[in-house]
Structures are given as structure tokens and as C-alpha cells.
Amino acid sequence: MDAKEISKAVIKRLPRYYRYLGELMEEKVERISSNDLSKKMHVTASQIRQDLNNFGGFGQQGYGYNVKYLYHEIGKILGLDKTYNLIIIGAGNLGQAIANYANFERRGFVAKVGIFDINPVLEGISVRGIEIRMINSLPEFIRENQVEIAILTLPKNKAKEMAKVLIDNGIKAIWNFAHTDLDAPEDVIVENVHLSESLMALSYNLSQYRNEHTEK
């Protein structure tokens, strides 16, 4: 099935299925029913069946889901069966924290990482074995390593200008942490991440809960 036909809501839930199935594999569970998966994930069994039916089901009546198979199929849908070279632009607090986040490699889709900054004090410092490079070597690094993904963790007022440089040098996807919208052509995928939005959702849910439970 064409992935474009699948609703965004379903795509958003796939990483969670992937994570739970990964845990089941670690526990050596070979198959699981939608009911058991439902209890584990706190999602209704019918939601699970509906979601997974989008991809041809993968389940068998009376058998449930083959955990390993489903894990790999969802991985393929999420593009995790490929490897990508990626770069981090801005080796400050956030850039270094992301570089330190070992789970990317555990997921298996990151082949090579480069970290770039403009601050000469940082040049050559190693973050988990990855050396911080100066920004003037960026175009060459992208070319030589066929880098497709860039992570933007630099100041907001530098992000648009940097996105242009990245796109001009062939970057195909940007994971943007700077709090600004980027101008990118249709063939460049931008995913914005704002931790503060998640915190606002948390604070909203907390105040909703309190309102509902104090009125009575």
C-alpha cells in the first residue's frame, strides 16, 4: 500500500508499536494477540487491529501477531531498515545531548554522524567519539559522506540561513529544533521538534484534570 494513503494519526502511533514490539523481542516473546498488545500498550484491541490492517494486517486468526515479523515490517514502513548519515549543526547543550543519545544507533538507522559549530573553542572536541568540526568544512563533509539528514540545534536567528546552505548542499531532511519555521522546497522534509509544546500539553492536561476533579 502507498504510505501516503495512511493517515497521519496512524503513522504517529507506529513508533510506539515499534518500541513495544522491540521490548517483546528482547523478552523473547514470539507472538502476541491484539488483546495482549492492547493491555500492554493501553490502546484498545480494535484500534490495534484497525491500525495494523492498514498494512495488510500481519496478523492471523487464532495465532495473533508474529512479533519479529511485525517489528521488521513496521521498521520498514518507518524507513528504519535503511541507514542514513546525519549531521548535527550547533554543538552546544542540545547538539551535544543529541550526539550523546546512543539509542539512535541502537535503532540501527544511523550510519555516520558529524557535528559542526562555528565556535573555534569546540573544534576537535570529541562527543562520544565524534569530533566537532568547523562549519567551513560542512559542504565537503556532506558531499563525501552522502549526508541526507541534518539536525538543527543552533540559535534561532541562524537557522533559516543555515537551512538554505544545507539544502543547497544536498540535504534532504531537516530535524529542526530551532524555534523558527524554515523555508524548504517540497522535496526537502522538515520535522519541527518543540519540547515546550509537549510541556504545554502536559500543563493543559494537568489543569483540565484538576478542574474536573475539584468542581464536584
**Is residue 117 close enough to count as binding ligand NAI by CB under 6 A?**
yes
Please answer whether residues 73 and 55 qualify as being in contact, where contact means their C-beta atoms are separated by less than 8 angstroms. Answer: yes
Supply the minimum distance, in Å, between the C-beta of residue 26 and ligand NAI: 29
151, 163, 178, 182: residue in contact with ligand NAI (rule CB under 6 A): 178
User: Looking at beta carbons, which residue is closest to ligand NAI?
Assistant: 92
Rounded to whole angstroms, how far apart are CA atoms 181 and 7? 24
CA 82 to chain centre: 14
**Is residue 94 close enough to count as binding ligand NAI by CB under 6 A?**
yes
| Distance (Å) of CA 102 to CA 113, 141, 161 | 12, 22, 29
Secondary structure letter of residue 149 according to DSSP: E
Supply the minimum distance, in Å, between the C-beta of residue 164 and ligand NAI: 12
**Is residue 95 close enough to count as binding ligand NAI by CB under 6 A?**
yes
Rounded to whole angstroms, how far apart are CA atoms 90 and 56? 42
143, 155, 200, 204: residue in contact with ligand NAI (rule CB under 6 A): 155
From 16-24, 50-58, 77-85, 176-184, give the range in contact with ligand NAI by CB under 6 A.
176-184
91, 98, 115, 142: residue in contact with ligand NAI (rule CB under 6 A): 91
Cell numbers linked to 169: 548542499
Q: Which of residues 196-215 bind ligand NAI (CB under 6 A)?
A: 196
| 22-25 contacts, C-beta under 8 A, 24 or more apart | 22/71, 24/67, 24/71, 25/67, 25/68, 25/71
**Is residue 154 close enough to count as binding ligand NAI by CB under 6 A?**
yes
Residue ranges in contact with ligand NAI by CB under 6 A? 89-95, 116-119, 135, 153-156, 158, 162, 177-179, 193-196
